Amino acid sequence: MGPGFAGPYVGGMADDRPLKSERRLTDTEALMWAVERDPSMRSTFLNVTFLDRAPDVVRFRRRMEAAVAAIPRLRQRVVPPGIPLAPPSWEFDPEFDLDYHVRHMAAPPPGHERDLLDLAALLYTDAFDPQRPLWQYTIIEGLADDRAALLAKMHHTITDGVGGVRMSAMFLDLERDPAEDPASPPPASGGESEDDLEGRDGMFESVGAALRRPLDLTWRAVGGAMESARNPISTAQSMARQLVITDKARSPLWAGVRSMGRRFETLSVEMGAAKQAAKSLGGTLNDLYVTGVAGGAGAYHRAKGKEVDELRVSMPVSTRTDKSAGGNAFAPSRVLVPAGITDPVARFAAVHERLDQVKSERALGLADALAGILSTLPTPIIVRLARQQVETVDFACSNVRGAPFDLFIAGAKVLSNHPMGPTAGTAFNITLLSYLDQLDFGLNIDTAAVDDPELLRDCLRDGLDEVIAAGS
């Protein structure tokens, strides 16, 4: 099953985006799947969506039935290859049970937000059952002020942040009570069932993939070599900055042990003021975001009696060139950001310059080829190499554009969205998702690395407020 499957008109939103649904995991996805032999490097993400009231559970379940029928990936699980060198494949779960994936529970009274975030962190740390599709949606009722929440948990092999936002159109409405809900379309398959096709052709495809893969990797390596030959010095320098970093992470506080313990925190700032400040300072909203986070991280170190000049952050650079939903289309990047510059204007200028350099890094174009080569290695070696590279990074940072208009889920209005991206072996992940006139942040913290999560949250908020004020 290849790309190009189009979703139907669902939930009041005309969703004609092609859905990326390759038969086999891409090299990057296969690499993410392999490194999970180390549990602290799992690639799970979870979005906490606050709602103004409890959604209609029956209606939401009906909407998810339509989404599951339209999006093959939501009915598929990852299956190891039958022979060496072939990548893992997506195969339909013969015992798919929607009730396992769509859940509903009540928060214990009095429904404090802190209790919800603690519950979300607990659900986040539970590993996915590899025998089932890699997603769970949980409606939580009984929050204070009659609010509710949706906890959308998904594995990164299904999609990245941009693809996930686009996939969510399958269950979102543009009004509280649209005229009618869509009927569930039949699963996307022709003549024979997908399961029959998997069983009949799976081994032949595995053999074909195994035979083609060395040739594919060779051609990609040749392409990378040709690029290196054209620009040998700049390409080598770029690779040293991005793909094969040897020095350790810079934080004197966050180095060392990692764990499965997680703490979730949330932040929100007004988007109009942030955009105006970024423009006034001569850069982008993403420049302002990273400047605020770097300043907050530096302030956290100073509050703990430690000085730090720079911190290394990992940031995904989107390579998506179409309007497709689902799948993964990004290149990982790493950049040193100034955490010791206390003047927000000077720090903004430094961040702007460094992020501009990242956009032109030649090594980013070689990341997929390197992932392909690495994914052919034995899993223990992949894990060890991945751990060595993760140990060079202090924290992870991501930025996703959301909807600039009101959204509703089964009759409940969306108030805010806070994405909890994977820490992937770093001290914390902070991810920004815009919505309406606000910037919502999710802060996913490894509790073994950061011993004062509330202080970190407050420092990051102060850092964002400081740079916004500097540009006002």
CATH label of the domain that carries residue 274: 3.30.559.30
Percentage of the chain beyond pLDDT 70 is: 74
Question: Cis bond leading into 80, ω under 30°?
Answer: no
Specify the higher pLDDT residue, 279 or 85: 279
Tens-digit pLDDT profile for residues 16-59? 556 666 787 888 788 888 888 888 888 899 999 999 999 999 99
Counting beta carbons within 10 angstroms of the beta carbon of residue 189, is it exposed (0 to 12), middle (13 to 18) or buried (19 or more)?
A: middle
Task: Calculate the average pLDDT of the chain.
Answer: 81
Q: Which of 72-81, 139-148, 234-243 has the lowest mean pLDDT?
A: 234-243
How many residues does this entry show for the chain? 472
pLDDT of residue 373: 62
Asked if 77 and 150 sit in the same domain, the reply is yes
Gap between the Cα atoms of 264 and 373, Å rounded: 35
In the structure, how many helices (H) and strands (E) does the chain have?
Answer: 13, 18
Asked if 284 and 143 sit in the same domain, the reply is no
As given in the structure block, the two tokens for residue 246 are 């040897």
Residues catalogued as catalytic: 156
Question: Is residue 181 over pLDDT 70?
Answer: no
Q: Which of 17-26, 201-210, 297-306 has the lowest mean pLDDT?
A: 201-210
Asked if 314 and 174 sit in the same domain, the reply is no
DSSP secondary structure code for residue 132 in this structure: S
Task: Confirm whether 235 is domain-assigned.
Answer: no
Number of domains observed in the structure of the chain? 2
54 by DSSP, 3-state: which? coil
pLDDT of residue 400: 87
pLDDT of residue 377: 72
As given in the structure block, the two tokens for residue 402 are 């959301």
**In 10 A of CB 226, how many CB atoms?**
9
Question: Is residue 422 over pLDDT 50?
Answer: yes
Q: Where is the domain boundary, 205, 228, 258?
A: 205
Asked if 191 and 294 sit in the same domain, the reply is no
Asked if 122 and 53 sit in the same domain, the reply is yes
Supply the CATH number for residue 121's domain. Answer: 3.30.559.10
Task: Confirm whether 279 is domain-assigned.
Answer: yes
Asked if 336 and 190 sit in the same domain, the reply is no
Contact present, 348 and 288 (Cβ < 8 Å): yes
Give the pLDDT band of residue 170 (cuts 50, 70, 90): confident
Asked if 263 and 317 sit in the same domain, the reply is yes
Asked if 376 and 430 sit in the same domain, the reply is yes
Question: Is residue 382 over pLDDT 80?
Answer: no
DSSP secondary structure code for residue 168 in this structure: G
Asked if 160 and 289 sit in the same domain, the reply is no
Question: Cis bond leading into 84, ω under 30°?
Answer: no
pLDDT of residue 185: 52
Task: Confirm whether 289 is domain-assigned.
Answer: yes
Give the pLDDT band of residue 96 (cuts 50, 70, 90): very high
Calculate mean pLDDT across residues 399-403.
89
Task: Confirm whether 433 is domain-assigned.
Answer: yes
102-106 and 135-141 beta bridge pairing? parallel
As given in the structure block, the two tokens for residue 468 are 């916004």
Question: Is residue 209 over pLDDT 50?
Answer: no
Asked if 201 and 256 sit in the same domain, the reply is no
Task: Confirm whether 229 is domain-assigned.
Answer: no
Q: Where is the domain boundary, 172, 205, 238?
A: 205
Tokens 């909407």 map to which residue?
63
In a 13 Å sphere around the CA of 99, the CA atoms on its Cβ side amount to 0
Task: Confirm whether 218 is domain-assigned.
Answer: no
Torsion of CA 84, 88, 91, 95, to 10 degrees: 90
Asked if 163 and 287 sit in the same domain, the reply is no
Asked if 155 and 28 sit in the same domain, the reply is yes
The whole domain housing 344 covers 247-404+411-470
pLDDT of residue 458: 98
Burial 305-328 (b: 16+ CB within 10 A, else e): eeebebbbbbbbebebeeebbbbb
pLDDT of residue 322: 66
Gap between the Cα atoms of 409 and 51, Å rounded: 8
